[in-house]
Structure 1
Amino acid sequence: MLAFRLALADLTRPAWHWDHDRWRCGESWVQPISHPALAHEIDHDRRATTILVRDLASPVTLEGPTPPVTGGDGAADAARGDALVLHLQPGRVTLTAGIGGTVPLYLADNGEVLHGTWDLPALRDLLQSSRLQDRAVARALTRRHRYSSDTLFTGVTMLTERAIATFTTAGVQLTYPPPAEHVTRARGLRPGADPRDGLAYLLTEAVRPWCTSGAAMGLELSGGLDSATVAIAAHQSGATPLRTFGLLVEGTLGAEQHHRRAAIAAHVGALDDVLRAHDHAPFCTGGIRASGAAHDPRGEFYREAFEALADRAADRGVAIMLTGNGGDEIMAPRIDELPPPPPQSLAEVSWLGPRAHDALAAIDDNLAPSAVLPTPTLMGFAIHHPAYLRAGIWPVTPFAHPRLVRFAEQLPLETRRGKKLFRDFLTRAGLPPYVTHPQRTEHFRDLMQQGLRHHGLSLAERLLAEGMLLADHGFINPDALQRTVRDAHQSATVPSVLCDTLVLEVGLRSLLAPDAAPVV
């Protein structure tokens, strides 16, 4: 929600003034993201300066309860929305996050100066290959992702939800909040109760602030149940005109996906834009990874396609993008409602090096406590949303509204299983069975295979010939990776987990090379 450079020396005699797009004081500056979906306030006196940045759905203001700089009463109020409070005092900087986590905030310091940004490449001058975070790299290579303040670099911290970061001459200290309280057991429905009514009410509550903002709205429309449910809610909340955007896969699946999308768009009166996903496969020529441009290695697997979608939406004038992200999480069975999953195998990542193997023992260290929102949703935000911000679009995820999350936690399993509630909601709205109960749904597995087969294997060979950073630092075994690549040329399917290694290697190179060169 903001970027900044804060020198402790400037906070001794603060004299903040607005300069074009940011607040300045000496060599320090604070730049809130400029967007109609966001607001910011500043309050300063001789003792301290407080800057609040929030989205339009957040209730907290500087004139309301005390800003949550110490985790006191104000923290509970700020936590109801997506807000960030920056509190500046002589010798001390304090940041407190709300629950939203729509975009990440990365923190890094070089002694007397604290840098903060939502866009990791902005910190590239402070990044070093000698400071790779072992457990974070191991998580990325093995798809054992965790919600944590850890990043790929030991010198960079991510501010997690409700956490407090304090910067002094001693460096950055992060304090996690207490675990969020959750409904621990599903409840039975009252006789005659219809959970579709609760879903409709809460989705309307989540969408309404954005429908009344006056900003042009778009919607990620895949053709699946989640985005279709958001589309109906947005339409019923008065979101007109609404533009929908989708990535269309190829073949029979794509034809069925197009049929469903057309029905949903027509039902809500949306103007529909379609991009062919296979024109933007992973590692494709012209994509951000192939270009060598600095980028966050944690980005979306299919970031080439989703960045093309974001750019198309920006070209159409969209300022706010609704997404169906989070639908899987709120409808998912709880751990106690399912048989225990089988142990996760590392057999398919046969090229792990000794440093990565050793780091697996610490993979669950430094985990953030239970969050208000589902942690997979929050992790997805950090991966998916920065591309929208770069395009000037604010992403909104109605399924991450706290009251809707709590409502879903209480629903009986039979209502959540197979997303029955969404299917029933769409059926009542009048959508046809081929939308509410499709025989097959779209997926990106073929897109992944195309990207790896046509671009990824040759990229892997080139990287191995040059010498890989991950190999130099002991995270992968280059000989084992070479065998995997050689075998993949002869097999019907390329191991999809190979993408994780290539994404990480190319991303790290883009950040650490003095002048990153194109990889293709």
Structure 2
Amino acid sequence: MLSFRLALADLTRPAWHWDSDRWRCGESWVQPIFHPALRHEFDYHAQGTAILVRDLSSRVTLAEPALSDEALSRGDALVLHMQPGRVTLTAGVGGTVPLYLAADGEILHGSWDLPALRRFLRPSRLQDRAVARVLTRRHRYSSDTLFTDVTMLTERAIATFTTAGCQLTYPVPAEHVTHARDLRSGADPRDGLAYLLAEALHPWRASGAMMGLELSGGLDSATVAVAAHQSGAPTLRTFGLLVGGALGAEQHRRRVAIAERVGATDDVLRAHEHAPFCAGGIRASGVAHDPRGEFYREAFEALASRAADRGVTIMLTGNGGDEIMAPRIDELPPPPPQSLAEVSWLGPRTRDAIAAIDDNLAPSAVLPTPTLMGFAIHHPAYLRAGIWPVTPFTHPRLVRFAEQLPLGVRRGKKLYRDFLTRAGLPSFVTHPQRTEHFRDLMQYGLRHHGLPLAERLLAEGMLLADQGFIDPDGLQRTVRDARQSATVPSVLCDTLVLEAGLRSLLAPDSAPVA
């Protein structure tokens, strides 16, 4: 929600002033994200200087005593407090965008955009366990980034910067409902869902901003679309990526039905025109970008650009809808242990790091951690397009409501299906025989763009191979076999995404990788 450069020397006798788009004090500066969805407060007093950035759904103020946990649980907020010799950052529960921190002597740098910190990124300072998580798809919510010199501020965490460096303190684990409850006789959980979604949407509906909706044609985004319409939101523009073939035809039919039901203007991009690693995409161009980005980043960045061209400043999404309906660990048999066999090209450094993959994990969060991890990779593209993403399913009261629902209501997203049925949507929307997926898009991107990229990278010499994270001979065999096979291993995408992203950050220039 902001970027900054803070030198401890400037905080001894602070004299902050506003300069165009940021506050300045000596060589220090703080630049909040300027957007209609955000509010900023600046407070200077004898005990120090405080800056608050919050979204419209948050009621946090700098006047609130000690910025209590209860206050920070309302919407998304970030508090920066500066005193002589000390900088403190406190995050709220929302995690809408990441905040990356890097210390350089007695100067602290921070940004929501990792490439802004690329001067601190070196191939010799890769974080082994973080790289191993990416290559094996064993993702974890943590303050770890791919680089040992950069830290991510996780939800409710506190970062403290002094002459001793930057220290991050995790919060106590968030409390959750651990067992489902029985519904009271006559109770209809659809009413609770409708009420809480309306509550989550109210600040954005009342803002008067141009709202879009990331509409897939699935249950989650359809539920948000109906809730927005029922709560009196102005006319929506819906945006989506249309997959190909018969599956795409069914997806299009659902999209049309949903858009007509809520009176939306629908805008569609053909996903195959923006396949992973496609020419002109961010990875092929070599433009500096976060290696942890969305698999289908090329397509979603095209969607964000289209929405911005249409004047959208707030984008509703169905993100988080899967997680709040998911069965708990005690409600389903444990999944089989993950195998590394499909990633046959792992190098010794990665295999050694597997044992530490669960080190330094953030404690239980207020929101589902898979949702928070998705925010960090999905949302910066919207910010670069001038759009603030809003995820109604992560409203804390709705998360807590869902935790209490019986498994029968959550299983298969029955609650969403029943909600959409009551709203008058046809059965081919509420109970589709086949739902959209991006597996074919992944195969297309890997076959037409990924394999040629892999061959080129192997010929040039890969950074991940040089650092011992992958075995180039093993990867070469996989690529050669994939050329002769009907299916390309999808996990190959993870390696290529990571290699392309690291090269974009660590290269001395912006030479393309493909």
TM bracket (short chain): over 0.9
Runs of 4+ in 1 over 6 A off after TM superposition: none
Is the contact between residue 57 and residue 74 of structure 2 (CA under 8 Å) also seen in structure 1?
no
**Mapped partners of 1:356, 1:239: distance in 2:** 49
Is the contact between residue 198 and residue 228 of structure 2 (CA under 8 Å) also seen in structure 1?
yes
2:292 to 293, 298, 301: 298
1:178 maps to what in 2?
A: 172
2:340 to 328, 341, 346: 346
**Mapped partners of 2:374, 2:221: distance in 1:** 16
1:200 maps to what in 2?
A: 194
1:2 maps to what in 2?
A: 2
**Mapped partners of 1:458, 1:421: distance in 2:** 45
Runs (5+) with no aligned partner, structure 1: 68-73
**Mapped partners of 1:446, 1:66: distance in 2:** 51
1:170-249 equivalences under 5 Å are: 170-249=164-243
Runs (5+) with no aligned partner, structure 2: none
- SS in structure 1 opposite 2:65? coil
Q: Please report how far the alpha carbon of residue 75 of structure 1 lies from its aligned counterpart in structure 2 after TM superposition.
A: 2.9
Is the contact between residue 219 and residue 323 of structure 1 (CA under 8 Å) also seen in structure 2?
yes
- Structure 2 counterpart of 1:211, which letter? R
Is the contact between residue 65 and residue 77 of structure 1 (CA under 8 Å) also seen in structure 2?
no
1:125 to 119, 128, 152: 119
1:264 to 258, 265, 285: 258
Per-residue CA deviation, residues 409-452 of structure 1 (Å, 9 max, x unaligned), is 00000000000000000000000000000000000000000000
2:381 to 372, 377, 387: 387
**Mapped partners of 1:129, 1:75: distance in 2:** 38
2:155 aligned with 1:161, yes or no? yes
- SS in structure 2 opposite 1:223? coil
2:56 aligned with 1:56, yes or no? yes
2:439 to 397, 421, 445: 445
Q: Please report how far the alpha carbon of residue 108 of structure 1 lies from its aligned counterpart in structure 2 after TM superposition.
A: 0.3
**Mapped partners of 1:22, 1:215: distance in 2:** 23
- Structure 2 counterpart of 1:471, which letter? A
**Mapped partners of 2:378, 2:50: distance in 1:** 29
1:397 maps to what in 2?
A: 391
2:135 to 123, 141, 148: 141
Is the contact between residue 356 and residue 475 of structure 1 (CA under 8 Å) also seen in structure 2?
yes
- SS in structure 2 opposite 1:228? helix
Per-residue CA deviation, residues 377-401 of structure 1 (Å, 9 max, x unaligned), is 0000001000000000000000000
**Mapped partners of 1:23, 1:79: distance in 2:** 26
**Mapped partners of 2:362, 2:251: distance in 1:** 37
Q: Please report how far the alpha carbon of residue 252 of structure 1 lies from its aligned counterpart in structure 2 after TM superposition.
A: 0.2
- Structure 1 counterpart of 2:473, which letter? D
- Structure 2 counterpart of 1:75, which letter? D
1:40 maps to what in 2?
A: 40
Q: Please report how far the alpha carbon of residue 46 of structure 1 lies from its aligned counterpart in structure 2 after TM superposition.
A: 3.1
1:20 maps to what in 2?
A: 20
2:480 aligned with 1:470, yes or no? no
TM-score, normalised via structure 2 length: 0.99
Q: Please report how far the alpha carbon of residue 239 of structure 1 lies from its aligned counterpart in structure 2 after TM superposition.
A: 1.4
- Structure 1 counterpart of 2:70, which letter? A
Per-residue CA deviation, residues 119-152 of structure 1 (Å, 9 max, x unaligned), is 0000001111110000000000000000000000
2:97 maps to what in 1?
A: 103
2:145 aligned with 1:151, yes or no? yes
Q: Please report how far the alpha carbon of residue 61 of structure 1 lies from its aligned counterpart in structure 2 after TM superposition.
A: 0.6
- Structure 2 counterpart of 1:100, which letter? G
Is the contact between residue 293 and residue 510 of structure 1 (CA under 8 Å) also seen in structure 2?
yes
1:470-509 equivalences under 5 Å are: 470-509=464-503
**Mapped partners of 1:360, 1:258: distance in 2:** 42
2:315 aligned with 1:321, yes or no? yes
Q: How many residues align?
A: 514
- SS in structure 2 opposite 1:66? helix
**Mapped partners of 2:510, 2:163: distance in 1:** 33
**Mapped partners of 2:126, 2:50: distance in 1:** 33
1:71 maps to what in 2?
A: none
1:287 maps to what in 2?
A: 281
Per-residue CA deviation, residues 352-377 of structure 1 (Å, 9 max, x unaligned), is 00000000000000000000000000
